[in-house]
Structure 1
């Protein structure tokens, strides 16, 4: 079974990832002056997160806290890949925030919804520092738990949404999730929306991939992949602000707009905004981070994180 260019599963069951396999160690990045380190958040599952902190932060300075979930279709990439390491260095430097980039177990060896459970475990680990007595000094000293954000791209944006939904139902004292930033979110559904492809083969291929990552799914209107299937559930989103990014040439673009419209209609009491990058493809900002549209996206995200600061 092959899903080019992402992953291949051989007849003997061996999984071969075709991309997203490179990793880099944490470091003090000379370009951005952002320091990073890896910390285990789930010893029982041997799962870590990579923390990022601007080097010029003083001992008592509190910074907005970002919990980031990487993309890769739930089956490739890690929090330790060069792509995400470079992106988080740039974002943390530009926004002057502290960030936790979450690694989670991936399909098909660990089918969904395991990635969601791992991600929630990471959120709870981060929240364990609210009283200043958690296991990680950077979070104890420098994280402002009244200014927490979730973000991710593609599958990671899907996870960020679901973490905010769960946050709405499981309130963590002192852990205030202000907003979420969803970059080219991986959502889908049975019925086409907007200008989404209607070709039967294309839609069947998308469903085949979703079932590959989530074999227990009820189908493409499963709330894990179609949060708009039951529009009323969006009203329980546990944050006050949402920023959605879409890319004009991304086949997921119409679905991002659909999410935006349904969230506005749901009765949720927050503010949602969507930005579409013209002429761009899926996760273009990771592929070409120096392009003009990527720069504009970065500045918009930084403004979103800092808009409530005095």
Structure 2
């Protein structure tokens, strides 16, 4: 006799599904590739940051041939995927960060945090903060990772991420502003198609009721203890500490056709009015949708954004 069909309790079609027995099925973002030496000379390696939690990272260094090299800026990158899919080791992120390390001539630490729903938020925030503090422990050239000791200028540190990763990057910037950790200077944050929302629809959200509802539903799936769409973690303008963002400049990248576009512009406008005091800019890609630069990294708009990010990091 055939077994009964497993009961589905949560379903985001073509994205992620959860069954009653607790099984989680991810439909995309499951592939991984090993670290490598790229033909361009960019090298990468994987490191375990916390043996207990399993938090890890992939580190990239550009082609460094001069033994008397100068120290390089550091980018701490946090991948997207709705807090639920993708890893720092997926081919999508590996290929993109190889290109960014080469174009910007920076060291990159790509954080692999634990994902919801097995590890609901705020775990991803805590994992990312642990990774940041682990990186900072190298600021006196005495940390466990030789690449960070040898190649990083800790007075030129940046955070970046896309989608949910941009959300995490922003929230890490708030923690830097509140806690002022020793060991590094956070110069700027690049938020690529940031995953923010809010209880009241704005801009194009009013015409895309389904897309807005899906974004709100995914947030509560990833963070079931949240108060909802006006939680400061997902709606940063509701955060009383918004103006304490711990950097001097922010670049927000949005896509013209992205459901999240207007949240990026709203973030820029509200941060500028908050009393923060830094410089915030927006780069909009005409005709493009969410994370288009990862889907088609060689298109003209993706190349232009890569160059803008490289200039921002330098």
Q: Specify the TM-score bucket, using the shorter chain as the normaliser.
A: over 0.9
- Report how far residue 169 of structure 1 moved: 1.0
Q: Does 1:107 align with 2:116?
A: yes
Q: 1:1-310 to 2 correspondence within 5 Å? A: 1-30=10-39, 32-59=40-67, 60-198=69-207, 201-230=210-239, 232-306=240-314
What is the DSSP-based 3-state SS (H/G/I as helix, E as strand, rest coil) of the residue aligned with 2:251?
A: strand
Mapped to 1, the partners of 2:306 and 2:243 lie a distance apart of: 28
Q: Is the 8 A contact 1:61 1:141 kept in 2?
A: no
1:7 deviates by 0.4
TM-score scaled by length of structure 2: 0.94
Where in structure 2 are there 5+ consecutive unaligned residues? 1-9
How much does 1:123 deviate?
0.1
TM-score with structure 1 length normalisation?
0.95
Looking at structure 2, the residues matched to 235 and 195 of structure 1 have their Cα atoms a distance apart, in angstroms, of 26
Contact 2:257 2:289 in 1 (8 A): yes
Deviations 1:114-146 (A, max 9, x none): 000000000000000001100000000100000
Deviation at 1:6, TM superposition (A): 1.2
**Equivalent residue pairs, number:** 304
* Local SS of the residue matching 2:25: strand
C-alpha separation in 2, matches of 1:227 and 1:286: 25
| 2:6 equivalent in structure 1 | none
Deviations 1:241-271 (A, max 9, x none): 0000000000000000000000000000100
Q: CA deviation at 1:198?
A: 4.9
RMSD of aligned C-alpha atoms?
1.2
**Once the 2 structures are TM-superposed, how far is the Cα of residue 48 of structure 1 from its aligned partner?**
1.1
Aligned-pair CA distance for 1:47 = 1.8
Deviations 1:217-256 (A, max 9, x none): 00000011100124x4221000000000000000000000
Q: Counterparts of 2:251 and 2:236 in 1: how far apart (Å)?
A: 16
Does structure 2 retain, via aligned residues, the 8 Å contact 1:235–1:263?
Answer: yes
Equivalent pair of 2:16/2:27 in contact (CA under 8 Å)? yes
For 1:285 and 1:202, locate their aligned partners in 2 and report how far apart those are by CA, in whole Å. Answer: 20
> How many angstroms does 1:202 deviate by?
4.4
Alpha carbons 1:53, 1:92 under 8 Å: kept: yes
> In structure 1, what is the Cα distance between the partners aligned to 2:236 and 2:16?
26
